[in-house]
Structure 1
Amino acid sequence: MVGRFDERFIEEIKGRLRPSDVIGKTVKLRKQGREYVGLSPFNKEKTPSFFVNDEKGQFFDFSSGKTGDIITFLQETERLSFAEAVEKLAAEAGLALPAADPRGAEVEKKRQGLADWLELAAQWFEAELKRPVGRDARAYLEKRGLPEKEWARFRLGFSPSGRTALKDYLVTKGARPAELVEAGLLIAPEDGGAPYDRFRDRIIFPILDARGRVVSFGGRAMDPNARAKYLNGPETVVFHKGNNLYGLSEARKILAAAPTGDEPPLVVVEGYMDVIACQRAGIPSVAPMGTALTEEQMEVLWRHHPEPTLCFDGDRAGRQAAGRAIDRALPLLKPGKSFKFALVEGGKDPDDVLREQGPAALKSQLEKTTPFAEALFVRERDLEPLDTPERRTALKVRLRKLAATIADPDLAQAYKEDLLGRFEQLWPTQQPVYTVGAAGRELSRHRWAKKGALAGASPETKQAAQDLKASPRPLAAALAVAALHDPSLIDNSIELVGARGFGDERLDAIAQALVQIRYETDEAEFDGVVRRLRSRGVSQELIAKLERDARRAGVSAPFLDATAARDRVRALWSQAFELLMKLEALERAVASAVGDMARDPSAAAALINLKAERDHLRKLVNSDWAGEAHDKPVLPH
């Protein structure tokens, strides 16, 4: 007897095994962009139509329409049960199976029994919708623009008004009323009376888990005077509202079928009909079950999409739901894991837009999104009028505190800078110019380059600024050159490189091109990388100049040593990259503090401390930070 495999154990297996490795043992795969392609294992074919995407953790076979994860693949190709497939993959991943115990086996047996009754109930509800008793429900669905041909896809059903109609049917199939109460299908009166049907005179929406198994139901009342318009099943051994999302199994199919490079958004909406509307339009969509989005549901969403779109109604309740989602998500945000917000126009919901304007209009509206940081700032800005210094200061304090709640320190710092930058833009003022030393080195590189801060400066200061504007930092150039020769150096920092480049805006084009190359190919030869860069508009002259700028780094860039061991090169490169990221953040913080001091002289002490920390890091970046002299040859041209 195999103990029950919980979701955490399943995810651990998937986290250790790449689908392309598992499936590649059966199907001959070749890399094609960000996916792997091969001949279908389910049908005979000459042209490959079988795709494996490691990022999505899915395979998709166009010839048969089959899709799924590595567990599904073994079930389909080797005719294994779910438990057998999990056992085999666990062994391959080097994971010990959860210990089997009599109590756990008994619980699993009970879960399976309840699941069987839930499935049978779903089939009965579907049949009732098509019978004479479901006439009004059918008319309602047609009126809502949901034709009969779509009902089976979403397994829609109907529960008659009889007090024990479902109970009577399932009892004839061998069910015990107590089991049906445990499954959430019946209600047991507190006075000890006979259990009766929970769902009566309602359109039924089956709630499925991620693998498409019925775990509960939602019901929409046909009676306009019903006490509850929508009714969800209760918490049970099988169903936990805070962990499940309505529509997830269908949304996963849509995501898996999306072509490479054209991944659709994963949209979170408020109601069953909105989910159905989005999915009919080809938009993967889910909804929480009448509760605020939980932390567990957010983690589920991020397993399927790096930046889901939250679409709430524009009314007061919708704004409150969005606010609760912001507060719950903020501490959980990580690099590459966030949310966007979308608002359907005209006070409508997605179901209204689909019926009135069609799929194209719905897609267009859901593509107009607001980044998380902007949504957070707007919420705080609009809490109260900002007509006094006290209220403006209160807003600034709130923004700092909110940024500090983010667990990831780098992201917390980035949010602080972003939110305070938005704050400054509410009351733009002319900032004073601060210079350092006879050569007039800039307080903020961006202020010299973008704010016209050179007015009235000495010729030496202007020349120093022009030199900086013409060339990147030597160490930043050296980082980029090393990555050109070995693009795999950026793999552990690829999200940061994509978002912040190499710590110098003049290198952004090269950084973005390298990130795209790493996503598309395993190209490692310098000449091949250069060809790909040139195809993206990065000229040979720019690359040659970059090589010259890198040599100015001298002993500060030991990772350019052509004789060094590869592991050491990778470690030194990562160390230098981290230093530059810290320096970039400090320079932005100093620039922000200068603005603070212009309005509040008491901020001078903070500015002095920030400048001291920045100057120390500048010296470290420009010194032999690896602690050794280098007279070894640099990477070959």
Structure 2
Amino acid sequence: MTLTPAFLDELRSRITLSSLIGKSVKIRRAGREYKACCPFHQEKTPSFTINDDKGFYHCFGCGAHGDAIRWMTDQRGLPFMDAVKELAAAAGMEVPAPDKRSAERAERQKGLHDLMADAAQWFTEQLHGLAGAEARAVLERRGISAETARRFGFGYAPDSRSRLRHALSSYGDARLVEAGMLIQVEGKEPYDRFRGRLMIPIRDVRGRVIAFGGRIIGDGEPKYLNSPETPLFDKGRNLYNLDRAQAAARKAGRVIAVEGYMDVIALAQAGFEESVAPLGTAMTEQQLERLWRMADVPLLCFDGDSAGQKAAMRAAMRALPLLQPGRSLGFVVLPQGLDPDDLVRQRGPAAFEQLLAKPEPLVERIWAHELAAQPIETPEARAGLRRRLTEHAQAIGDPIVRSEYLAEFRRRFDRLFAPPPRRQYQQRQPGPAGQRRGPWKPPEPPPSAEARNVHSGGIDRVLAKAILAGLIRHPAEIARHMEVLGTLKMADGALGRLFEAVIDVALEDQALDGERLRTILATSGFDQIAGDLLRADTLPFSFTQVGGDEDRARADLNEAIAVLVARPAVDAALAEATAAVQSGFTDEAFARQVALVKERQMLEARLANLMLDDEEGETIA
């Protein structure tokens, strides 16, 4: 089907956007526009505006923006064509007729939707009949109320090879096979796929039944049986309970992905309506995209056993290439041996809410997994850990997120393997006979080469020069650190004036590249000092060099700025702690001194890890 721009423009013009949005969101007039609290993120002060004249909505808080069709696809979750058809019906417009093949496909799917709806109704009737007594007992034992069973459309498939086939015989065997309700074996009569099972309808985003999941009554395998792939059902693109969870997720500001149907149903009964589940497969890229349309950081809550945790890691690996700034995953770790259903039944909704309040970030899940993967007692094992972490970070498609992961893994690695501080003991000097000698005091640690380069303002001048050279080569990074850089007194004299000029020029043109910035500096009287700075080979950092990996250079520059900012405060605190130890030794003062010495060593290690060598590629260190 081809929809012309003219048709779509006419459709938009016939829709009053405020009336459409006002059906599900409380809006109020504000001059020529309408305002509301944004339905796409949690907020208390309205920042969501609707302009009927221009036909668009916009949120100044989260950036959500679109027209009537976009509202139907993003807020209602409808596919594009379904959104157009629904709006056209409301506007009294005829959607252009599809071509013959599309029409035949649509008609065939319509018939399958009718078939599945009738099958769901028949299963429900069996559940409430004489044959469904055992299935009803299963629901009762699982704590599923009659209201919950009704809302989720529970049914029962009798233990028969032909009951459903005969009940829906008007559709014909071929259509029932196509819908996945019968199994066809060559040379034999088709027979019912679901037999002796508690039936759970699977619905699409519009609430139409497209498949079933069947749980065995009593013993038997498989415990759960799903519909096969059909023209209506693509298990890798759908999520169980998606139709109900979308509105609940917008209201709650989160979406929870669990492993199975019964987990979703138990959580919904306990008040967590924003729950969904994959359909018998590992979480796919398409399902992750569905989750991200509902929340920036979906919460994955898989079982606490090893299988559940492996499923969580598979989802993490699938998510890495798709990450974007602000878009990630959170992981809710359940107590060992419990699934969400068990947890809410045994410990109540409050216990589950506590777990949801403190999800494990994606970066922490990957770090913990790789740290526990094998012993790290040898240099070779530590190198393996470093390589695996780097490979995970390199899998991320977005260059900004990738550089942040590289930097974060580097920091964690350095903290874990930084050498312990050495305790330096003063040699006790013999005193006059009978005179009590005071407790020993550790000497003040000698200043490092970097510390000797720190001027009165507390900033390492050599590192400051390297960072300034990096900012000139990569001016796009200035905006990211503007708040910090604007308060730093990096140097005095000509170097300080050059720093201020770089900041001022970058503020005026945030799209500036390094070559253009150097041209502007040259015309402003900074030609010689900027040239000397860029030619200087004081510290071999990736961000001071010409060429090389741009992502690596930006990541290293960001890390160097973090060290530059952090080090003066650590140095000052260490000097204070050392003075405290010398004036009167206590265990508490010594412990603080040791901790600060270790923190100082970690900063030095972070800086050393940024230095290039002849054979280095882009790695964590």
**3-state SS of paired residue (1:205):** strand
Q: Could you tell me which residue of structure 1 aligns to residue 99 of structure 2?
A: 101
- The CA deviation at 1:237 is 0.5
1:282-301 pair list within 5 angstroms: 282-283=271-272, 284-301=274-291
Q: Could you tell me which residue of structure 2 aligns to residue 235 of structure 1?
A: 229
- The CA deviation at 1:420 is 2.2
Q: Could you tell me which residue of structure 2 aligns to residue 85 of structure 1?
A: 86
User: Cα deviations across residues 340-366 of structure 1 (Å, max 9, x unaligned)?
Assistant: 111111420110111112211122123
- The CA deviation at 1:21 is 9.8
- The CA deviation at 1:428 is 2.3
User: Cα deviations across residues 546-596 of structure 1 (Å, max 9, x unaligned)?
Assistant: xxx9998346414766xxxxxxx67569999x9998842454699999637
Judge conservation of contact 2:403–2:555 (CA < 8 Å) in 1. no
TM-score for both structures, normalised by structure 1: 0.63
Instruction: State whether structure 2 residue 319 is matched by structure 1 residue 329.
Output: yes
Instruction: State whether structure 2 residue 605 is matched by structure 1 residue 595.
Output: yes
2:413 to 409, 416, 423: 423
User: Cα deviations across residues 426-477 of structure 1 (Å, max 9, x unaligned)?
Assistant: 2222699xxxxxxxxxxxxxxxxxxx999467998444443689xx99x99x
Instruction: State whether structure 2 residue 447 is matched by structure 1 residue 466.
Output: no
Q: Could you tell me which residue of structure 2 aligns to residue 447 of structure 1?
A: none
Judge conservation of contact 1:309–1:342 (CA < 8 Å) in 2. yes
User: Which residue identity is paired with 1:223?
Assistant: G
Q: Could you tell me which residue of structure 1 aligns to residue 211 of structure 2?
A: 216
Residue correspondences, number: 474
CA distance in 1: counterparts of 2:218 and 2:300, whole angstroms: 30
Q: Could you tell me which residue of structure 2 aligns to residue 256 of structure 1?
A: 250
Distance 1:281 1:24, change over 3 A: closer
Q: Could you tell me which residue of structure 2 aligns to residue 343 of structure 1?
A: 333
2:198 to 183, 199, 203: 203
**3-state SS of paired residue (2:199):** strand
User: Cα deviations across residues 47-95 of structure 1 (Å, max 9, x unaligned)?
Assistant: xxxx999878999xxxxxxxx9537999xxxxx9965335589999xxx
2:72 to 70, 82, 85: 70
CA distance in 2: counterparts of 1:189 and 1:460, whole angstroms: 83
Which stretch has the larger CA shift, 231-240 or 334-343?
334-343
Q: Percent identity?
A: 35
2:157 to 150, 156, 159: 159
CA distance in 2: counterparts of 1:358 and 1:146, whole angstroms: 14
Long gaps (5+) in structure 1:
39-50, 60-67, 75-79, 433-451, 480-491, 509-548, 562-568, 611-637
**3-state SS of paired residue (1:84):** helix
Distance 1:281 1:312, change over 3 A: same
CA distance in 2: counterparts of 1:397 and 1:18, whole angstroms: 56
**3-state SS of paired residue (2:210):** strand
CA distance in 2: counterparts of 1:164 and 1:393, whole angstroms: 61
Judge conservation of contact 1:307–1:339 (CA < 8 Å) in 2. yes
CA distance in 2: counterparts of 1:399 and 1:127, whole angstroms: 54
CA distance in 1: counterparts of 2:89 and 2:560, whole angstroms: 50
CA distance in 1: counterparts of 2:120 and 2:303, whole angstroms: 30
Instruction: State whether structure 2 residue 140 is matched by structure 1 residue 117.
Output: no
Q: Could you tell me which residue of structure 1 aligns to residue 435 of structure 2?
A: none
Instruction: State whether structure 2 residue 402 is matched by structure 1 residue 412.
Output: yes
User: Which residue identity is paired with 1:557?
Assistant: D
Instruction: State whether structure 2 residue 175 is matched by structure 1 residue 179.
Output: yes
CA distance in 2: counterparts of 1:430 and 1:188, whole angstroms: 69
CA distance in 2: counterparts of 1:73 and 1:300, whole angstroms: 12
1:555-570 pair list within 5 angstroms: 556-558=503-505
Judge conservation of contact 2:72–2:83 (CA < 8 Å) in 1. no
User: Cα deviations across residues 224-244 of structure 1 (Å, max 9, x unaligned)?
Assistant: 1x2211000000001001101
User: Which residue identity is paired with 1:340?
Assistant: G
Instruction: State whether structure 2 residue 484 is matched by structure 1 residue 504.
Output: yes
- The CA deviation at 1:207 is 0.6
Distance 1:119 1:91, change over 3 A: closer
User: Cα deviations across residues 271-294 of structure 1 (Å, max 9, x unaligned)?
Assistant: 111111222233211111111111
User: Cα deviations across residues 120-174 of structure 1 (Å, max 9, x unaligned)?
Assistant: 1111212221112111111111111111121111111111112222221112xx3
User: Which residue identity is paired with 1:266?
Assistant: V
Distance 1:315 1:580, change over 3 A: closer
User: Which residue identity is paired with 2:105?
Assistant: V
User: Which residue identity is paired with 1:307?
Assistant: V
1:584 to 538, 553, 558: 558
CA distance in 2: counterparts of 1:328 and 1:315, whole angstroms: 20
Instruction: State whether structure 2 residue 548 is matched by structure 1 residue 553.
Output: no
- The CA deviation at 1:597 is 9.1
Instruction: State whether structure 2 residue 256 is matched by structure 1 residue 267.
Output: yes
Judge conservation of contact 1:71–1:85 (CA < 8 Å) in 2. no
1:316-465 pair list within 5 angstroms: 316-429=306-419, 455=447, 461-465=453-457
**3-state SS of paired residue (1:30):** strand
- The CA deviation at 1:504 is 2.3
CA distance in 2: counterparts of 1:240 and 1:201, whole angstroms: 25
Judge conservation of contact 1:503–1:580 (CA < 8 Å) in 2. no
CA distance in 1: counterparts of 2:446 and 2:147, whole angstroms: 69
User: Which residue identity is paired with 2:175?
Assistant: E
Distance 1:332 1:71, change over 3 A: closer
Q: Could you tell me which residue of structure 2 aligns to residue 517 of structure 1?
A: none
CA distance in 2: counterparts of 1:148 and 1:236, whole angstroms: 31
User: Which residue identity is paired with 1:257?
Assistant: K
Judge conservation of contact 2:237–2:286 (CA < 8 Å) in 1. yes
Q: Pairwise CA RMSD of aligned residues? A: 5.0
Q: Could you tell me which residue of structure 2 aligns to residue 527 of structure 1?
A: none
CA distance in 2: counterparts of 1:90 and 1:336, whole angstroms: 37
Judge conservation of contact 2:264–2:277 (CA < 8 Å) in 1. yes
- The CA deviation at 1:319 is 2.2
Distance 1:228 1:111, change over 3 A: same
Q: Could you tell me which residue of structure 1 aligns to residue 269 of structure 2?
A: 280
Distance 1:338 1:382, change over 3 A: same
CA distance in 1: counterparts of 2:421 and 2:92, whole angstroms: 63
CA distance in 2: counterparts of 1:553 and 1:580, whole angstroms: 21
Judge conservation of contact 2:450–2:460 (CA < 8 Å) in 1. no
Which stretch has the larger CA shift, 452-461 or 375-384?
452-461
Distance 1:507 1:268, change over 3 A: farther
**3-state SS of paired residue (2:98):** coil
Judge conservation of contact 1:141–1:147 (CA < 8 Å) in 2. yes
CA distance in 2: counterparts of 1:34 and 1:550, whole angstroms: 43
CA distance in 2: counterparts of 1:325 and 1:73, whole angstroms: 25
CA distance in 1: counterparts of 2:497 and 2:132, whole angstroms: 75
Q: Could you tell me which residue of structure 2 aligns to residue 543 of structure 1?
A: none
User: Which residue identity is paired with 2:458?
Assistant: Q
Judge conservation of contact 2:404–2:555 (CA < 8 Å) in 1. no
1:120-159 pair list within 5 angstroms: 120-159=118-157
Distance 1:271 1:71, change over 3 A: closer
**3-state SS of paired residue (1:356):** helix
Judge conservation of contact 1:308–1:338 (CA < 8 Å) in 2. yes
- The CA deviation at 1:503 is 6.1
Judge conservation of contact 2:411–2:606 (CA < 8 Å) in 1. no
